[in-house]
Amino acid sequence: MKIWFNQPSDNWNEALPVGNGRLGAMVFGGVETERLELNEESVWTGQPRWDANPNALKNLPRVRQLLFEGKYKDAEAMAQNGILGNKPRNPVATYQTLGDLYLDFGSVRGIADYRRELDIENAIATVSYTANQVKFTREIFSSAPDQALVVRLTADKPGSITFSSRLSRAGNKATILAEGNQITMTEHVGDGIGVRMVTRLKLLAEDGEISSGGDSISIEKANSVIIFITAATDYFDDDPSIVTSTQMDKILKQDYSELRKSHITDYQSLFKRVDLDLGDSDGNFFTTDARIAAMQNGYVDTDLIELYYQFGRYLLISSSRPGNLPANLQGIWADGLYPPWSADYHININIQMNYWPSEVTNLSELQEPFIDFIDALRPNARRTATEVYGMNGIVAHYTTDPWHFTEPTGAIGYGMWPMGIAWSCQNIWDHYLFGGDVEYLRKKSYPIMKEAAEFCLDWLVVNPATGYLVSGPSISPENKFRIPGGNGNASMVMGPTMDHMIIRDLLQNTIDASIILETDKPFRKKMEKTLARLAPIQIGSDGRIMEWSDELEESEPGHRHISHLYGLHPGNQITQQHNAEYLEAARKTIDYRLANGGGHTGWSRAWIINFFARLKDGDAAYENVLALLRKSTLKNLLDNHPPFQIDGNFGATAGITEMLLQSHAGEVELLPALPSAWKEGHIHGLMARGGFEVDIDWKNGILKQAKIISKLGNPLKLIYAGKALEISSTQKGKEYLFGGDVNLLN
Ligand code: FUC
């Protein structure tokens, strides 16, 4: 399970990511100059702000009326000025690098046996080479138990390690001071509008001479060196100076082997929960870039698919830990002061996708930062519902940031979409379905879902042409259509299909939750009534799922968002079990997008894997796994939108899981979309809704055996290839073994 190269990287996009959920680094591995680009999840510029358009409330009815009359241009002009916020954002809030650690070794000659690797089984990056007959090794990891980045340099001959280390930060505005064996770097980022950050570095050397000055520490002729870095900001209201020195004091009390061991134990307690084997290939002998190139040339490197799968889990463990901020568009890794899209929290698919693998791949607790984050949006989301729309409940739009803005802003084509929280509730509800924690449901999940549902009840209006309740003004993220009659393009409508799918999900799940919690009967009745009147999924004259309430022609038929298939995935409104009539239309929808160049961003391709898995077409899902590796993957296996964006990694890990196990339709289905290429293999340790831990083994393309541990004692309906078995009450904690015909063995 290694990503490795035989050369250093001079490109951030080829460096190796390490992280503890909060503090991370990209390891370049240079021989003469090592660069570790550093990140801390809360290094954000900006501040809380408020940009509600004061005229929105007044304009809303008119905008709706114009849309019902088909006057798209007029409606958009009015909404752009009169519903969306339009205050200039200065400075723009953005996530930023923490800084860089440079290790300067001077000139090095006679280099041999160079290797730079990331071992995702123990979450340690290693750089090693020989120079002048001395073997040098660097180990780099970010420890969650000790909240520090650790770099250790060793050589196989005493007195061989000589270098200087310095911290720096893009923009050159940080105060950096080296004294004795430590360097501190502080900055109030965003020119004073943003967080205050503190980074501390301590260097411990075995033998050798240390000297320091300016921004650097030099070390001469040491046997080995350890560098510790702690970093924090005042984002969570703590004093980062105290936090970082407390962390440092704790680390200094331990020796390296203890630190290393507790890091590995902690990491593996999460990582080792899932074991995947899809068969063997010879790829492990080759560097990762060569393996990707071989894939591009038509070779299928099955082990690389396994590595890529587990890398998704590695990235989640390394970028999302309870108590922290959620993984952003780049997890926690970002270079410079202006990463793409501010590396923010897009909630019109991207951050939800980040968390798709969390429950199914047995990393449930790693989803908590996302749930807590949505929870933290509530005060602003409530204010937005009231001030912008005059409604109850909570609402947020296509994106947000750690300052929790929720108002509609920006341009119509992406901004006029009030379903960000409603969609996130799908993840929040799933967390309950997998874990079965009723207290979580009562205290955390249901209150969010209920408020999101309250907004939707107020938001929906009757479409005078059909009598159905529709959502609007809204868009189908971030697609456009040709205005009938040839008057250019528009995005905004009354009744984008995706909104109705999200709302249907939310209301149904909130109803179910209120039944479990035995609460809110009158509100439940209201939701039931609304559900019955919600605009249904429609199939167009060309046999595809309609993206909007009216049959409109999309301007970009290969568009990356396939929003109107939300009901297929991540939702469960289109299933073989319940409404197979939509399956064919869903397939046509994907085929049409693909035939027109669809799947061209990494995350879009990853979503398509999930779609085909849900259509139970293993071979088509598999083709898209290959396409993702061939077309949308950087040399270090990070997803390429382009540019680098982490959602595709997470979406693909989720998609491969969906090929092997599904549980969204009330049953635990084994190998629903096993491709013909994966003849023999196993996946152990997955989770299914209802609290079942599932091990699956297959041979000759068919199920050999399944082992299921019932964590909660729920009833189990197991299906495989048309065969079914029902156990009306399982015993909590008991392990059940099934044969290839889903027959109970013991
Ligand atoms: C969505 C997508 C873009 C990009 C951005 C961060 O809006 O449409 O492709 O991924 O998020």
DSSP string, 627-666: HHHHHSB-TTS-BBSSSB-THHHHHHHHHHHHHHEE-TTS
pLDDT band at 284 (very low <50, low <70, confident <90, very high): confident
Closest C-alpha to 88, from 400, 413, 418, 410: 410
Show the tokens assigned to 211. Answer: 């000297």
Closest C-alpha to 163, from 57, 2, 323, 35: 35
Using the mean position of ligand 1's atoms as its centre, give its distance from the Cα of residue 540 in Å: 27
In the predicted structure, residue 91 carries a pLDDT above the cut 80: no
Q: Determine the length of the chain.
A: 746
In the predicted structure, residue 746 carries a pLDDT above the cut 90: no
Integer Cα distance of 534 and 495 in angstroms:
10
Using the mean position of ligand 1's atoms as its centre, give its distance from the Cα of residue 27 in Å: 27
Q: pLDDT digits over 6-65, tens only?
A: 999 999 999 999 999 999 999 999 999 999 999 999 999 999 999 999 999 999 999 999
Q: pLDDT digits over 296-316, tens only?
A: 999 999 999 999 999 999 999
Integer Cα distance of 666 and 657 in angstroms:
17
When pLDDT is averaged across residues 249-266 and rounded to a whole number, the result is: 97
368 three-class SS: helix
Whether 639 is in the pocket of ligand 1, judged by its Cβ within 6 Å, is: no
Low-confidence winner among 19-23, 163-167, 270-274, 482-486 (lowest mean pLDDT): 482-486
Q: Which helix (H) or strand (E) holds 27?
A: strand 23-27
Whether 286 is in the pocket of ligand 1, judged by its Cβ within 6 Å, is: no
The per-residue b/e assignment along 340-365, b for 16 or more CB within 10 angstroms, e otherwise, is ebbbbbbbbbbbbbbbbbbbbbbbbe
In the predicted structure, residue 487 carries a pLDDT above the cut 90: no
Integer Cα distance of 694 and 143 in angstroms:
29
Using the mean position of ligand 1's atoms as its centre, give its distance from the Cα of residue 575 in Å: 27
Contacts of 651 (CB under 8 A, 6+ apart): 353, 356, 603, 606, 607, 609, 610
Whether 348 is in the pocket of ligand 1, judged by its Cβ within 6 Å, is: yes
Whether 329 is in the pocket of ligand 1, judged by its Cβ within 6 Å, is: yes
In the predicted structure, residue 644 carries a pLDDT above the cut 80: yes
pLDDT band at 70 (very low <50, low <70, confident <90, very high): very high
When pLDDT is averaged across residues 716-741 and rounded to a whole number, the result is: 97
My answer on whether omega of the bond before 675 falls inside 30° of 0, hence cis, is no
My answer on whether omega of the bond before 8 falls inside 30° of 0, hence cis, is no
CA distances for 297 relative to 245, 380, 627, angstroms? 51, 51, 12
Residue whose entry in the numeric block shows the structure tokens 């509800």: 429
Whether 350 is in the pocket of ligand 1, judged by its Cβ within 6 Å, is: yes
What is the structure's pLDDT at 331? 98
What is the structure's pLDDT at 712? 98
Furthest CA-CA distance within the chain: 84
What is the structure's pLDDT at 37? 98
User: In one letter, which amino acid is 409?
Assistant: T
What is the structure's pLDDT at 337? 98
Pocket test for ligand 1, best of 562, 645, 647, 650 (most atoms within 8 A of CB): 645
Whether 601 is in the pocket of ligand 1, judged by its Cβ within 6 Å, is: yes
pLDDT band at 577 (very low <50, low <70, confident <90, very high): confident
Whether 645 is in the pocket of ligand 1, judged by its Cβ within 6 Å, is: yes
Integer Cα distance of 647 and 653 in angstroms:
10
Pocket test for ligand 1, best of 351, 417, 603 (most atoms within 8 A of CB): 603
In the predicted structure, residue 89 carries a pLDDT above the cut 80: no
- Ranges 210-214, 284-288, 608-612, most confident: 608-612
Residue whose entry in the numeric block shows the structure tokens 């005229």: 55
Using the mean position of ligand 1's atoms as its centre, give its distance from the Cα of residue 326 in Å: 17
Using the mean position of ligand 1's atoms as its centre, give its distance from the Cα of residue 109 in Å: 45
Mean pLDDT, rounded, of the chain: 97
Strands (E), 90-181: 99-104, 111-119, 124-131, 134-143, 148-155, 161-168, 175-179
Closest C-alpha to 431, from 489, 472, 374, 384: 374
Q: Whose CA is nearest to atom 8 of ligand 1?
A: 478
Atom of ligand 1 nearest to the CA of 478: 8
Residue whose entry in the numeric block shows the structure tokens 């027959």: 743
Q: pLDDT digits over 611-638, tens only?
A: 999 999 999 999 999 999 999 999 999 9
Using the mean position of ligand 1's atoms as its centre, give its distance from the Cα of residue 640 in Å: 12
Integer Cα distance of 628 and 609 in angstroms:
9
In the predicted structure, residue 90 carries a pLDDT above the cut 80: no
In the predicted structure, residue 178 carries a pLDDT above the cut 90: yes
Using the mean position of ligand 1's atoms as its centre, give its distance from the Cα of residue 89 in Å: 20
In the predicted structure, residue 145 carries a pLDDT above the cut 80: yes
Integer Cα distance of 728 and 733 in angstroms:
15
Integer Cα distance of 572 and 503 in angstroms:
12
Using the mean position of ligand 1's atoms as its centre, give its distance from the Cα of residue 348 in Å: 8
What is the structure's pLDDT at 230? 98
What is the structure's pLDDT at 120? 98
Atom of ligand 1 nearest to the CA of 601: 9
When pLDDT is averaged across residues 72-86 and rounded to a whole number, the result is: 97
Q: pTM of the entire structure?
A: 0.98
When pLDDT is averaged across residues 607-613 and rounded to a whole number, the result is: 98
What spatial distance separates the first Cα and last Cα of the chain, rounded to whole Å? Answer: 34
Whether 463 is in the pocket of ligand 1, judged by its Cβ within 6 Å, is: no
What is the structure's pLDDT at 426? 98
Task: Tell me what percent of the residues of the chain surpass a pLDDT of 70.
Answer: 100
pLDDT band at 87 (very low <50, low <70, confident <90, very high): confident
pLDDT band at 158 (very low <50, low <70, confident <90, very high): very high
What is the structure's pLDDT at 578? 84
What is the structure's pLDDT at 546? 98
